[in-house]
Structure 1
Amino acid sequence: MGAPATTAYRANVWATGRLTGVQWPRLHRFHRGCRRIVLGVVEGARLVTGDTRTPERPEGGHHVRPTLFADVESALRIAREEDFGPVLIVIPFDDEDGPVRIANDSKYGLAGGVSPGGCPSTASHRHRRRLRGGAKSSGIGREFGATGLAQYIEYKTIAAIAA
C-alpha cells in the first residue's frame, strides 16, 4: 500500500538558489507538514511510509515525503483537520454506512469522498446520494459530490455490474 505513495512528484522550492517571498510560505508548509506527521505518530496512527526528513534530492529543496498513515481513528486530529501535504490517511470502517458517515463528519467543507476501489461493501454507495458537501469552515466543497457533478451529467443509461 505504501509503495505508490513514495513516487509522488515534489517541486523544487530552491530552484533559484535563494529564497524569495513566494518560497517562504512553502518552507513554512514544509515545517507544518512535518509537525502533522509527528502528531499522527504521537496520536497512535500507524505510519506505513514517509517521515519528517527532507528527501535527498540533487537539486535541493524542502519537501515533505509522501506519507501514508493506516488504521487511523476518525477522532484523531490528523483525520479531523485539513492537511495540504502529500499525506494520506486510511480510516477503517465497520459497517456499510461507515464510509459515508466518516466522509460527512467534518467541520471542513472541502472534498470528502468515498472511493470504493474493489470493496463490494462500499460499491453500493455509488447509487446513494448521502455524501453531503457544503459550505463549512474551509470553503464550498461540493466539487466531488452529486451537487458539483450534476452540471456535467446528462443521463442516458445507468448500468450496474453485479458482483
Structure 2
Amino acid sequence: MKNIVLIGFMGVGKGSVAREIVKQSDMIALDTDDIIESMENRRIKKIFAEEGEEYFRALERKVALWLQKEVKGTLISTGGGFFKVPNLSKIGTVVFLSAPFEVIYRRILEHPDAEKKLRKRPLFQDVERAQKLYEERAVSYKKVADIIIDVQDKTISDIAKEILKKV
C-alpha cells in the first residue's frame, strides 16, 4: 500500500487532518517535523535558531530518503517546506491541503493555544514575510501534488473523508 503524503503551508491543518485520517482508517501516521525533532533531540525552532534553515532542509532530505526506503502504507504529514525534497513523488501519493493565506492565519489566531501555535512556527514570526513565502510556495505545492484538496470551509472530518475517497 502506498503512503499518503500531506503537504501544504504551515498552519493549514496537516497534523489535524492526519490524526483524523488515522481515526477513519487503519493507517499509522508519522510527522516529518516530529521525526527531525527526535533525531536532533531539540525543537524545530531551536534547530533553525542554532543551525539555520539550510541545515534543517538537509535533515528533511535525510528523512525523505528514509521514508522512501523504509515506510509503506503510512500517512505522512510534513513541514511546510518538505515539498521541496527531490524524492517526494517516490514517497507516496502527494496530497496538497490548500487554503488562502488569510484563512490559515485566522485559524492560527483563533486557536485556543494561538500563542504556542505561532511560537512553534519560526517562519511565521513576521506575518508579511510569511505571506510572501506562502505566495512563493502556492504554485509549487500545486505542481508537485497528485491531489489538491481545498480545505476552506470544511471540517477536519470531511477533509479526511475526501482524501481517503480520492486516494
Query: TM exceeds 0.5?
Result: no
Compare the two structures and name the one with the higher helix fraction: 2
- TM-score by length of structure 2 reads 0.26
- TM-score by length of structure 1 reads 0.26
Larger relative contact order, structure 1 or 2 (CA cutoff 8 Å, min sep 6): 2
Compare the two structures and name the one with the higher strand fraction: 2
Larger radius of gyration: 1
